[in-house]
Structure 1
Amino acid sequence: MFTTICARIAKLCLQLGVTGLVLLIVAVAYQVFGRYVLNNTPTWAESLALLLVLYVTMLGCAVGVRDAGHIGMELLGDLVPQSWQKPVSLLIHSLTLLFGVLMAWNCAQMFESVRSYMIPTLHISESFRYVPLVLAGCLIVLFSIEHIVAIVRGQEVKPAWH
């Protein structure tokens, strides 16, 4: 059941990432249209595009951890002898979990520290830049736990996009 929930969360992240990518393309296209056709650059479009890049990238990063899409994670396990593969996999996912904890914690502190500052062109708090980083950190922790549990049980985590 835990794997099913994680798979659904990962699939939702993928869908949100694709939606964010479409919105990013629209924002950049509108910015180019405004600059070269209307001769009036919409200043908010660039800020929105930069914000969307963070959301798309961080959601994709978290799903990449779940679907073991990181080349270093896969490569190291294959280089060691068969008897070491399980401990090395556990170590890799434990270190990834630690990274997720540190990322979520530190970005949450940054979120809090910039809450009162505004992105002038969007009229929203600077803290919106740290939401995807905190979310991705939490998802990395969740997905790392899923992998650790699967390794201990002798199971495999199936990618969300299947």
Structure 2
Amino acid sequence: MRFIKRPNDVLFRVLVVLASISLAALSLLVIYSVVMRYVFSDAPDFVEPIALLLVIVIAMFGAALKVREGGHIGLDSLVKKLPPKGQLAAMAFQHLCLIALAVAIFSGCLQMVETTMDDRIPILGLPEALRYCIPVVASVCIAMFSLENLLALFVPKQN
């Protein structure tokens, strides 16, 4: 299990740092925008597109982090009533569904990256594809974390 756990540990820490920095930056950006708008009557144009990118980072990386921790939405009340083998099957099915979702997100967003590479985000001038690169990275993380959790179901725990 170490072959996947160690890289996922590093990936997890990187995502925590990036999501945390994005959340802090978003908070500061919103405060700046509010002060500029209501105190100085001069709303900056660049705040909204940057805030949108930060929200995408927070949401997608946060989702990947919760997959690693096993904190995603599930029907625990139903699964807990199943016998142990049924619980194992349900959890395995859940992780397989998450991997399938990650593949779908990866595929769809990769197509959008290719389609929007030449377009620019207004005001910022950055490639529109940047909005879709974030979910591509997050989907790889979701798949890696789900695979780790899936393998952990079938590997005996070591003390």
Show structure 2 runs of 5+ residues with no match: none
Q: Which of 29, 54, 61 is matched with 2:56 structurally?
A: 54
Question: How many angstroms apart in 1 are the aligned matches of 2:77 and 2:133?
Answer: 31
Question: How many angstroms apart in 2 are the aligned matches of 1:65 and 1:117?
Answer: 32
Question: How many angstroms apart in 2 are the aligned matches of 1:61 and 1:73?
Answer: 17
Comparing 115-124 with 73-82, greater Cα deviation is found at 73-82
- How far did residue 155 of structure 1 move? 3.8
Query: Does structure 1 residue 67 correspond to structure 2 residue 93?
Result: no
Asked if 2 retains the 8 angstrom alpha-carbon contact of 1:73 and 1:92, the reply is: no
Task: Note the aligned Cα RMSD (angstroms).
Answer: 1.6
Q: Which residue in 2 is equivalent to 1:11?
A: 13
Please tell me the residue identity of whatever aligns with 1:125: P
Comparing 71-80 with 17-26, greater Cα deviation is found at 71-80
Relative distance call for 1:114 and 1:47 in structure 2 (3 A) is: same
- How far did residue 154 of structure 1 move? 3.2
Q: Which residue in 2 is equivalent to 1:160?
A: none
Identity of matched residues, %: 30
Please tell me the residue identity of whatever aligns with 2:150: I
Please tell me the residue identity of whatever aligns with 1:122: L
| Runs of 4+, deviation exceeding 4 Å | 73-76
SS across alignment from 1:33: helix
Q: Which residue in 2 is equivalent to 1:20?
A: 22
Question: How many angstroms apart in 2 are the aligned matches of 1:59 and 1:44?
Answer: 23
- How far did residue 125 of structure 1 move? 0.9
Please tell me the residue identity of whatever aligns with 1:41: A
What TM-score do the two structures reach when normalised by structure 2?
0.91
- How far did residue 52 of structure 1 move? 0.3
Comparing 28-37 with 55-64, greater Cα deviation is found at 28-37
What TM-score do the two structures reach when normalised by structure 1?
0.89
Please tell me the residue identity of whatever aligns with 2:86: W
Question: How many angstroms apart in 2 are the aligned matches of 1:61 and 1:137?
Answer: 9
Show structure 1 runs of 5+ residues with no match: 157-162
Alignment of 1:32-111 (within 5 A): 32-72=34-74, 74-111=76-113
Question: How many angstroms apart in 2 are the aligned matches of 1:139 and 1:125?
Answer: 23
Relative distance call for 1:140 and 1:75 in structure 2 (3 A) is: farther
- How far did residue 83 of structure 1 move? 2.4
Q: Which residue in 1 is equivalent to 2:140?
A: 138
Question: How many angstroms apart in 1 are the aligned matches of 2:60 and 2:157?
Answer: 27
Question: How many angstroms apart in 1 are the aligned matches of 2:78 and 2:38?
Answer: 49
